[in-house]
Structures are given as structure tokens and as C-alpha cells.
């Protein structure tokens, strides 16, 4: 059954409630299988640790991004405002949730536009479905004066929704048309099920320059949709998708430096973020945990982001990396367990990560 413009805001609010009430997983993102080699002689001062990174042509003070999560319902305006204030404090990029509801109903635009109002100089990413018309994508960018556009892929979620899409024919061509029709970089983003190397190559072939792998292990939109319907989903389906670490390395090997890559999905600590960056991610996205903190208070959110950045600097110092380039090129990384098994099955050797210097 097709969803109308009055039903969409209620669904968006239900999604937000589900994200806040449900646990992550059950899949594991893979970070517990990744170990950074300790450096007992780092020869660094804590004040020297530089977290600055570059994303879609912009230098940012932090490699952490507040990723797409909310907007499109009146009650979400204050949440996006608080998230934007937090992003501004730490020099982070920020993405909003899908803007289709606000394109259809202009009275909802302010739930997204508040981000630009609170963070006028920030790197802000608009967001639409990969199946959205080009005109919808363009309006989403204009609504925020966005610096980039996230185009999200969410096939499992759509299949789990009674009102969801059932045909995905022509998605790649539509992404190509969106890229040609908007004046900002396009980032193709999964929503928690991962991107594999083969599909990453197809996206690179049509000119996409940035991907967000968004693997499993964090917010599970199959679980959210089941919760919204008041049903239980088979455990086998709940575990669907590529673990974030596997997806990240599969994409990096397949694209060989032709695309920037964000790692998101199950990032729950500054150490997780440093692990992702050490493996080659350009940026790291978080959403669900930050919104849960914000539901408690804006002060708690700000304190959590402070802690995350301190933990990142601490981890980098302990492995002897003064900046993200050194982290990726000089720090040895050991990959064990199920993640190693996944990678070996995909023909990816873990040895080069462990023997960098």
C-alpha cells in the first residue's frame, strides 16, 4: 500500500522511537576483532594529536560525523537543532534524515533547515532515497544549502515495510541521474546492511566519489520495522548484512583509492572510530547512540562527544600516530576471529595491515 504525505511523518517519528528503544544488532560490526599494536615509545605529546580530516573536498576538525537519523516530523526539530549545535562545537560534519516528507509538505522543512540555522558554516549533508526523483534530490539540497547529498540504499528495510518499495529496477541509473542533477557531491549510503566490493565498483563506474558503507552491528532497521508493526522477525533475517569492518575493507580493496569511504554501523567508542580510520576509512559516522544520549539531555550528548574525541586522541597517542595519515600508514593492525575468516573468504589478506612498518 502506497504511503501518503500525511502518513510519512508518523512513520519517521516511529522510526526514531524504535531507534531509541531497541538494542543494537544482533549482528556484530567486527571492531572487537581488530587490535591496534601498542607503541611503548610514541615520542608524542597529547596536544600534538591532530584529528582533522577531509571529506568531499572540505577539511573538517573531526573525522566523526553525526550521521543521518531524524527529521520530517514536527517533534524532531529540537533534536536536529541540538545535534547541529553539538556538531558545531566539535567541527563535525552532519547529515539529516530522509527529506522526502519535507519536499512533499513544506511545513516540515524547518525540521531540517534548523540544522543550517544552528550551524551556518558547517558541512551539512542532505538525504534522499536512491529511488527519489532528481527534482526531489535537488529540492533537498536547496532546502539546506547542503554541501553534499547522501543517497541512501535500504532494500531490506523497504521489504520489511508494508508501505515500502518492492521494485528496485533502475536504481543505479537513477543515482547517476541524481548525481548529474545536483550541484554538490553525492555520497551513496547504506542504512545498516553494508556495501560489498562489487556494488562499490559499479557505483565508482558511474562517477560516485564517496560511499558510506553503514554495515550491520548498529541500528537495525529490520528490527525497527518489526517493532513498528508489533511483530517479531525471524532471527536469521535480523542478522542480515555485512559487518561494518568487512564491508569497509571489501570496498577499499575493490575501489583501490578511487572513492572516499565513511565507516558507520556499530561504532560505539572512540577506539572503534580509530580502528576504522586505521583500516583506511576517511570518516566515521555515528547516529543512534548520540540520539539516545540527546533524549536524556543535550548536556549528556555534548559530554559524550567530548569523551569520544578524548578517547580517539588517547588511542592514537598510544599507538604512536600524530595524525590520521600516520594512523593509516604506520600503525600495525591485527585482525582476528570471524572478521579474519570473512576477509580471507573474500580474498583479502590481513597480513599487510599487521606489517606496515
State the pLDDT confidence band at 1, using cuts at 50, 70 and 90: very low
Question: Is residue 27 left, alpha or beta, with left meaning phi > 0 and alpha meaning psi from -120 to 50?
Answer: beta
Cα diameter, the chain: 62
Residues 27-56 pLDDT 10s: 899 999 999 999 999 999 999 999 999 999
Q: Where are the alpha helices (DSSP H) in 121-220?
A: 134-144, 155-160, 171-181, 197-205
Kindly tell me if the per-residue pLDDT of 212 is higher than 90: yes
Whole-Å CA distances, 294 to 289, 297, 345: 9, 5, 40
Distance CA(252)–CA(68), nearest Å, equals: 22
Report strand pairing: 58-60 vs 53-55.
antiparallel
DSSP 82-109: HHHHHHHHHT-EEE----HHHHH-GGGT
Chain centroid to CA 7: 26
Domains contained in the chain, CATH given: 7-354 (3.20.20.70)
Q: What is the mean pLDDT of the chain?
A: 93
Residues 258-268 pLDDT 10s: 999 999 999 99
Which SS3 state, helix, strand or coil, does residue 127 take? strand
Amino acid at each position: 500500500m502506497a504511503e501518503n504525505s500525511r502518513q510519512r511523518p508518523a512513520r519517521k517519528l516511529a522510526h526514531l522511537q524504535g531507534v531509541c528503544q531497541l538494542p543494537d544488532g544482533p549482528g556484530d560490526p567486527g571492531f572487537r576483532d581488530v587490535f591496534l599494536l601498542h607503541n611503548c615509545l610514541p615520542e608524542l605529546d597529547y596536544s600534538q594529536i591532530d584529528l582533522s580530516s577531509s571529506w568531499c573536498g572540505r577539511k573538517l576538525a573531526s573525522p566523526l560525523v553525526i550521521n543521518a537519523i531524524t527529521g520530517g516530523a514536527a517533534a524532531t526539530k529540537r533534536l536536529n537543532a541540538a545535534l547541529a549545535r553539538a556538531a558545531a562545537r566539535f567541527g563535525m560534519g552532519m547529515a539529516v534524515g530522509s527529506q522526502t516528507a519535507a519536499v512533499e509538505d513544506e511545513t516540515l522543512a524547518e525540521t531540517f533547515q534548523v540544522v543550517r540555522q544552528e550551524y551556518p558554516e558547517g558541512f551539512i549533508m542532505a538525504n534522499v532515497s536512491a529511488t527519489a526523483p532528481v527534482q526531489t534530490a535537488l529540492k533537498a539540497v536547496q532546502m539546506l544549502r547542503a554541501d553534499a547529498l547522501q543517497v541512501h540504499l535500504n532494500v531490506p528495510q523497504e521489504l520489511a515495510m508494508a508501505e515500502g518499495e518492492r521494485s528496485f529496477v533502475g536504481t543505479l541509473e537513477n543515482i547517476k541521474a541524481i548525481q548529474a542533477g545536483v550541484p554538490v557531491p553525492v555520497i551513496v549510503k547504506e542504512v545498516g546492511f553494508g556495501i560489498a566490493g562489487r556494488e562499490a565498483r559499479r557505483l565508482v563506474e558511474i562517477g560516485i566519489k564517496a560511499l558510506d558503507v553503514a554495515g550491520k552491528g548498529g541500528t537495525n532497521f529490520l528490527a525497527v520495522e518489526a517493532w513498528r508493526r508489533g511483530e517479531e522477525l525471524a532471527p536469521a533475517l535480523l542478522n542480515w548484512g555485512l559487518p561494518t569492518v568487512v564491508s569497509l575493507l571489501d570496498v577499499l580493496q575493490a575501489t583501490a583509492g578511487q572513492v572516499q569511504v565513511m565507516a558507520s554501523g556499530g561504532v560505539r567508542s572512540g577506539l572503534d572510530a580509530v580502528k576504522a580510520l586505521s583500516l583506511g576509512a576517511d570518516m566515521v559516522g555515528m547516529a543512534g547512540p548520540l540520539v539516545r544520549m540527546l533524549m536524556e539531555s543535550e548536556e549528556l550528548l555534548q559530554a559524550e562527544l567530548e569523551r569520544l574525541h578524548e578517547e580517539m586522541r588517547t588511542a592514537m597517542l598510544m599507538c604512536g600516530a600524530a595524525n590520521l595519515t600516520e594512523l593509516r600508514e604506520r600503525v600495525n593492525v591485527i585482525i582476528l576471529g570471524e572478521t579474519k575468516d570473512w576477509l580471507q573468504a573474500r580474498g583479502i589478506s590481513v597480513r599487510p595491515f599487521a606489517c606496515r612498518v
